[in-house]
Amino acid sequence: MSGAAAGGMARSAPLMGRDTEPTIFELSEPGRRCWQLRTTGVPAWSAEELVPAEHRRTRPVPLAEVSERDLVGHMTRLSHRQFSVDLGAYPLGSCTMKYNPKVCDEVASLPGLADVHPAAPASMTQGWLALLVELEEALCAVTGMAGATFQPAAGAAGELTGLLVMRAYHGANGEERRRVVIPDSAHGTNPASVSLGGYEVTTVPSDDRGCVDMAALRAVLDRDVAGIMLTNPNTLGLFEEGIEEIAGCVHDVGGLLYYDGANLNAILGVVRPGDMGFDIVHLNLHKTFATPHGGGGPGAGPVAVSSQLVDFLPGPRPVRRADGQGYEWLWPARSIGRVHSWHGNALVLARALAYIRVHGADGLLRVAERAVLNANWLRTRLSGTFDVPFDRPCMHEVVLAAATLRRKYGVRALDVAKRLLEEGFHAPTVYFPLVVDEALMIEPTETESLQTLEALAGAFERIAAEASREGGAAAAHAAPRTTPVGRLDEARAARHLVATFDARPSSA
């Protein structure tokens, strides 16, 4: 590729040993490119013909100009300084960072899927529509729901969509309910979505078994309550044992049950949210169905609903034609409208269907069984080393705590997490759920082997043992000492955030 031989800074093997990698802007050289446009056959209009003068830029966009060779070198070096699901165990509780099988990427790369424009008419995209309808049927089968939308781009976007559906349903019944109930162990996106959806949050406490306190719940329920948002298993990794009772008393006041499906991998093929009494479910395809998480997107947070709510879903929806002759797009009768351009993050949907097809129903059941087994193995092995706030069988994740380590040796959950990086593992989630002091929330996921679990548990045990020894606390406070970037001052970074890059046009 032209211009690839030399760049603004000498870039060759010696860089590998450096502590710092130059930014892409430091690698920039005017006129250097790593792309060329295909010949399309579309006449080449000039910018003057196409864009009115007042909308045209007067200066070039200040982007880095690099060759493909330098770009790939830069990205590869950066990727070696990262921890990723492809590298090793990533026990980040609540986030379900499980390994994403490569077959799903292969499917999503098929030209017949990847090269289709979302505006192509249904008559030319019957294969895509068939895929979407099959995925919808599969997701309804595992959730016990009647229909779904694929538009939401992540779990939180699904929550907002579900709440808007809830609002539309009550509105259609001539009711303006104002409150949504959420347990105090809920994920932070739940109350945020409730507020965005125009509702007030009513919080109910957990009882001493880590479940919704039934007396407190009953006390806040009345006909002003639009619904309750729950995740089951909840964010403490525990199954809400009173779910049928909860469903009964929320439905009794005319409210709906919203299921935050971020933890669905714990119950796949075992029990369905619909059978527990839920009316609306969002699914995190980028968790349960192993499509990659990517820095806030592109993920997919489809929302599935019971039959009474299908008419309110965003549109258009892919459906089988009534005459049995293929598929078409259909607007639900009382749709809340679009929540995403086009049809959502479509290739994430293709990945999810590939994952479901490869596993089959029995494979999905094994996913759940293995996820729960792995978490309970860790709980049992580590219960003598760390505090176990709720010492009973957990589901796919276990919440431990470093409260005793902090009290005795001044070593906190944050220190344990940072030390774990030195041991070659990603850190667990810390300080969440908020109801647990010094929480360490560990989700091993079903993809890790017994050997990996043993290595992970061994690392946790070494860290705890070291804390009790002379100089051990100091080592924990200094961690991580072996990673490309050491311990950062996170409070300073948050308070003095520098979110801009002083980029000058490279031709200047």
Q: Which parts of this chain interact with ligand PLP (CB under 6 A)? A: 94-95, 154-156, 187, 189, 231, 235, 260, 262-263, 284, 299, 301
* CA-closest candidate to residue 98, choices 449, 360, 467: 449
Closer to ligand PLP by CB, 7 or 301: give it.
301
CB of 443 to ligand PLP, least distance (A): 9
Crossing angle (nearest 10°) for helices 189-196 and 155-172: 40
Closer to ligand PLP by CB, 193 or 202: give it.
193
**H-only helix segments in 253-345:** 273-276, 285-288
Rounded CA separation 179/198 (Å): 9
Closer to ligand PLP by CB, 149 or 235: give it.
235
For residue 108, give the amino acid letter.
A
Rounded CA separation 152/206 (Å): 30
Please tell me the number of Cα atoms within 13 Å of 297 on its side-chain side: 15
Closer to ligand PLP by CB, 132 or 156: give it.
156
Closer to ligand PLP by CB, 67 or 284: give it.
284
Q: How far is CA 505 from CA 23, 51, 264, in A?
A: 15, 22, 48
Rounded CA separation 150/134 (Å): 12
> Tokens 């109930």 belong to which residue?
181
Closer to ligand PLP by CB, 277 or 299: give it.
299
Please tell me the number of Cα atoms within 13 Å of 185 on its side-chain side: 27
Bridge partners for 148 per DSSP: 304
Task: Give me the torsion for CA of 145, 148, 150, 155, rounded to 10°.
Answer: -40
Residue nearest to ligand PLP according to CB distances in the complex? 155
Bridge partners for 212 per DSSP: 206
Closer to ligand PLP by CB, 225 or 262: give it.
262
CB of 246 to ligand PLP, least distance (A): 17
Cβ pair 416, 372 in contact under 8 A: no
CB of 154 to ligand PLP, least distance (A): 4
* φ and ψ at residue 252, rounded to 5 degrees: -60, -30
CB of 436 to ligand PLP, least distance (A): 15
Q: How many Cβ atoms from other residues are within 10 Å of residue 497's Cβ?
A: 8
Q: Is the dihedral of CA 356, 359, 364, 368 positive or negative?
A: negative
* CA-closest candidate to residue 150, choices 125, 130, 133, 127: 133
Closer to ligand PLP by CB, 156 or 413: give it.
156
For residue 405, give the amino acid letter.
L
Rounded CA separation 307/211 (Å): 29
Closer to ligand PLP by CB, 154 or 267: give it.
154
Q: Is the dihedral of CA 466, 467, 472, 475 positive or negative?
A: positive
